[in-house]
């Protein structure tokens, strides 16, 4: 499992209920007494307060400490317009928590807020490593600085929610094929029961979560498969479509990939030298 003791895994979610798709992995980390923190970007429309309460309830069930929950409360669907604010907040949180790993929704064109969450994390990591390497080289030329922080760079992971790559409608909980090795958190009976309880907790999202997860495996949720996640390649280019052709969100939102790509190209810096 990623993360080492005392260096938390930070989960970055676009919406309340994104955690449904990585809940078992969070639970495993928490059960191993590894610190887990979470940041939600959006507020969740009209039901904002209720949805935040649902996430707090879900985290209690998963075993995440309430003091490790952070909320940015942006308007739903508008996170791309607030990219710089998100990056700033993330960098502050990264300085504070020094996470060993950051988990974000996959870059898969399912929802612009999901892709923005990962873009923000990638931008924050690249900017932070640039600052750290600049500080390190300045220190080399000057006097020795015993208080210097060791270079700290979290590993970025992604988990799939839904996309339209190679699917007539939506592919749920499966990655767009890539070259990075996919890790799987094994899902046992108690984890399926957790997913079932979570599906009930996120009742304001019933219209979305229930059809996505199906709840079709009966009370034991036997159709719930192992939970995939994989490392995000450090060189990923966010100005290139995650797959050729029209993205899922281009069918049901007014956001077009060109808009995302323009913002991504301006925000991202070339990766810092290793
Ligand atoms: Zn979402």
**What pLDDT does 144 receive?**
47
Joined tokens for residue 227: 């939970």
Q: Of 217 and 91, which is predicted with more confidence?
A: 91
Least Cα distance to 195 among 225, 159, 160, 158 occurs for: 225
Distances (CA, A) of 261 to 90, 217, 247: 21, 39, 13
For the cut 60, the answer to whether the pLDDT of residue 4 exceeds it is: no
Q: What are the residues whose beta carbon lies below 5 Å from ligand 1 (ion)?
A: 14-15, 18
Please tell me the distance between residue 114's alpha carbon and the centre of ligand 1 in angstroms: 6
What is the 202 CA–ligand 1 centroid distance (Å)?
12
Ligand 1 centroid distance, CA of 211 (Å) = 14
CB 233 within 8 A of CB 180: yes
**What separation in Å is there between the alpha carbon of 150 and the centre of ligand 1?**
34
pLDDT at 143: 44
Its CATH class, for the domain covering 9-140+150-267, is alpha beta
How remote is the CA of residue 134 from the centroid of ligand 1, in Å?
36
Q: Which residues pair with 13 in a beta bridge?
A: 40
Q: Cβ(108)–Cβ(76) under 8 Å?
A: no
Distance (Å) from CA 16 to ligand 1 centroid:
7
Query: What percentage of the chain has pLDDT greater than the value 90?
Result: 63
Ligand 1 centroid–CA 17 distance in Å is 6
Of residues 238 and 218, which shows the higher confidence score?
238
166 pLDDT band, cuts 50/70/90, is confident
111 CA from centroid of ligand 1 (Å): 7
Cβ 9 vs Cβ 101: under 8 Å: yes
Report the C-alpha gap between 230 and 213 in whole angstroms.
21
Residue 188 burial class via C-beta count within 10 angstroms: exposed 0-12, middle 13-18, buried 19 and up: exposed
CA of 12 to the centre of ligand 1 (A): 11
- Chain segment 169-221, per-residue pLDDT in tens: 888 889 999 889 999 999 998 998 898 888 888 876 665 666 555 555 455 55
208 or 28, higher pLDDT: 28
| pLDDT confidence of residue 231 | 97
Whose CA is closest to 97, among 156, 50, 36, 20?
Answer: 36
Distance between Cα 265 and ligand 1 center (Å): 23
Q: Compute CA distances 67 → 38, 70, 102, 147, whole Å.
A: 10, 8, 18, 28
> Separation of 23 CA from ligand 1 center, angstroms?
14
CA of 47 to the centre of ligand 1 (A): 14
Decide if pLDDT at 270 tops 70: no
For the chain, give the mean pLDDT.
85
> Which position has the higher pLDDT, 270 or 96?
96
Cα 270 to ligand 1 centre (Å): 28
Cα-to-centroid distance, 137 and ligand 1 (Å): 40
Quote the ligand 1 centre to 269 CA distance (angstroms).
26
pLDDT digits (tens, 9 = 90+) for 101-138: 999 999 999 999 999 999 999 999 999 987 666 666 66
SS3 215: coil
Lowest mean pLDDT among 61-65, 74-78, 103-107, 252-256: 74-78
Residue 76 Cα to ligand 1 midpoint, Å, equals 9
pLDDT of residue 3: 53
The pLDDT value given to residue 113: 95
| Model pLDDT for residues 151-162, shown as the tens digit of each residue | 578 999 999 999
CA of 104 to the centre of ligand 1 (A): 11
């Amino acid at each position: 499992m990623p993360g080492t003791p005392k260096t938390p895994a930070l989960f970055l979610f676009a919406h309340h209920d994104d955690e449904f798709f990585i809940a078992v992995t969070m639970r495993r980390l928490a059960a191993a007494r590894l610190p887990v923190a979470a940041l939600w970007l959006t507020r969740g429309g009209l039901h904002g307060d209720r949805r935040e309460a649902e996430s707090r309830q879900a985290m209690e069930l998963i075993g995440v400490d309430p003091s490790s929950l952070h909320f940015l409360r942006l308007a739903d669907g508008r996170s791309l317009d607030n990219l710089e604010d998100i990056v700033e907040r993330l960098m502050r949180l990264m300085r504070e928590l020094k996470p060993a790993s950051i988990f974000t929704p996959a870059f898969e064109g399912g929802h612009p807020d999901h892709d923005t969450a990962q873009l923000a994390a990638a931008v924050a990591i690249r900017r932070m490593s640039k600052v750290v390497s600049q500080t390190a080289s300045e220190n080399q030329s000057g006097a020795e600085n015993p208080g210097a922080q060791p270079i700290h760079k979290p590993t970025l992971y992604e988990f799939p929610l839904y996309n339209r790559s190679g699917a007539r409608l939506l592919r749920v909980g499966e990655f767009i094929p890539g070259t990075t090795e996919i890790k799987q958190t094994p899902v046992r009976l108690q984890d399926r029961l957790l997913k079932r309880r979570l599906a009930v907790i996120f009742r304001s999202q019933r219209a979305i979560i229930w059809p996505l997860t199906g709840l079709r495996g009966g009370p034991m949720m036997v159709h719930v498969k192992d939970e995939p996640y994989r490392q995000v390649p450090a060189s990923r280019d966010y100005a290139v479509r995650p797959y050729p052709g029209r993205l899922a969100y281009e069918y049901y939102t007014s956001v077009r990939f060109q808009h995302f790509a323009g913002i991504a190209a301006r925000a991202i810096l070339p990766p810092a030298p290793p």
